[in-house]
Structure 1
């Protein structure tokens, strides 16, 4: 009885979100035109993405910094990209927080870090995105518009992949596996493929001679920044899965298959899923 009642309330909330946050046809078509990597979705997939985007807008609170004017175009573009990874999963993966903060461009992050000797340092660096555990997602609008698919870069997908990774604790490159979506994929299978791929990529980057570094950094499908931590490798590879799926599958077929199974999407259309999509 309680389950039926909960489902009824969820349906009512969804219907209200689709009414109150309906996306104008002109705005939606302009959004799709600016996100060419969505071309792998069929009409039904795009319709689901549109509905999910409306529900996302109903659940999250957008704000800006440095006097940036928030527009519907900005909100819908960011929301659509955020919803792509969970299109065949659920917005429940983004529960527990509400804020999306948009800066005009890169912003400064200040952190306290402890080195190997136990000495604490205050550091700061420029960032195009940041995801806080239990807190907001912060994005550079300048970077969020870099969506032409010329490379695998996508700051929105990157930061929302971190949010998914944080669902079972500190981001570590091992996102939660849910039986209803991911079986028979299990933690050991994930570790066997993902950890091995991460180690191999780190070895590959470490082996690049200094004189060839600039060219490697320019030509590498996976940003060398991904070696910083397994959580960054997961987020960067998530970008590649959706933005450059054919190239990602060709270069890292086993890793592509793993992430395609996790997100329950096969954007390269190589039959990487075990079973039908919803």
Structure 2
């Protein structure tokens, strides 16, 4: 009886959220036109993505910085891209936080880091996105609009991949695996593929002389930045999976299959992968 009552309340909340945060047809079509990497989705999947985006908007609190005006177009574009990775997994993977902060362009991040000798340094650098454990996702709107699919770059998917990775603690490139979706895939099987691919990529990056960086970036879909940490490799490869799936599969076929299995989507083809 309690389970039925809980389900009833959840359904009522869902209906209320969809009623209070609808995405009108014209805005949704304009959003899709600006996100060409969604073209592989069938009509039923796009309808689910639209509904999930409405629920996401209902659950999260959007705000801006530096007097940037928040518009419906911005909100829906960010929501649609954020919801794409969890289309077949659900918004529960974004639980535990509510804030999405949008800056006009890049912003400065200040951090305290400890080097190998134990010396603490205050550092700052420009960023186009940042995901805080237990806190908000921060995005550059200028970068969030770079969505034509000419390369694998997508700051929204990148930062929300970090959020998924953080569900099991500190982001480490080993996101949580759920039995109902991912069995028999386990942490050992994940590591055998992912860690090997990461080590191989880092070795490629380390072997490139400074004068050949441009050539490397032309030859590889994956940005050298992904070698900084396994969490960055996971986030950058998640971008590639959804934005340039055919090229990603060609360069890293085994890693493509792993991430497609994880997200339960096969963007190089069509449809969901069954667990």
Q: What's 2:195 paired with?
A: 195
Equivalent pair of 1:36/1:149 in contact (CA under 8 Å): yes
Superposition TM-score, scaled by structure 1 size = 0.97
Matched, 1:245 2:245: yes
Q: What's 1:19 paired with?
A: 19
Task: Point out 4+ residue stretches in structure 1 off by more than 6 angstroms.
Answer: none
Equivalent pair of 2:103/2:140 in contact (CA under 8 Å): yes
Q: Distance in 1 between matches of 2:108 and 2:224?
A: 21
C-alpha displacement at 1:17, in angstroms?
1.1
C-alpha displacement at 1:217, in angstroms?
2.5
C-alpha displacement at 1:2, in angstroms?
2.2
Bigger mean CA deviation after superposition, 91-100 or 12-21: 12-21
Q: What's 2:222 paired with?
A: 222
Q: Distance in 1 between matches of 2:229 and 2:209?
A: 21
Q: What's 1:90 paired with?
A: 90
Q: Distance in 1 between matches of 2:89 and 2:152?
A: 22
Bigger mean CA deviation after superposition, 226-235 or 262-271: 262-271
Q: Distance in 1 between matches of 2:150 and 2:225?
A: 18
Unaligned runs of 5+ residues in structure 2 are none
Q: Distance in 2 between matches of 1:71 and 1:42?
A: 27
Equivalent pair of 1:257/1:272 in contact (CA under 8 Å): no
Superposition TM-score, scaled by structure 2 size = 0.98
Unaligned runs of 5+ residues in structure 1 are none
Superposed CA offset, 1:78-127 (max 9, x none)? 00000000000010000100000000000000000000000000000000
Superposed CA offset, 1:211-252 (max 9, x none)? 211221244200100000000000000000000000001110
Matched, 1:70 2:70: yes
Q: 1:152 to 1:212 in 2, by over 3 A?
A: same
Q: Distance in 1 between matches of 2:237 and 2:128?
A: 17
Q: 1:3 to 1:77 in 2, by over 3 A?
A: same
Equivalent pair of 1:197/1:255 in contact (CA under 8 Å): yes
What is the 5 A alignment of 1:154-169? 154-169=154-169
Equivalent pair of 2:40/2:270 in contact (CA under 8 Å): no
C-alpha displacement at 1:183, in angstroms?
1.0
Bigger mean CA deviation after superposition, 219-228 or 239-248: 219-228
C-alpha displacement at 1:272, in angstroms?
9.0
Q: 1:210 to 1:90 in 2, by over 3 A?
A: same
Q: Distance in 1 between matches of 2:46 and 2:92?
A: 19
Count of residue pairs brought into register by the alignment: 275
Superposed CA offset, 1:54-101 (max 9, x none)? 000000000000000000000000000000000000100001000000
C-alpha displacement at 1:271, in angstroms?
8.9
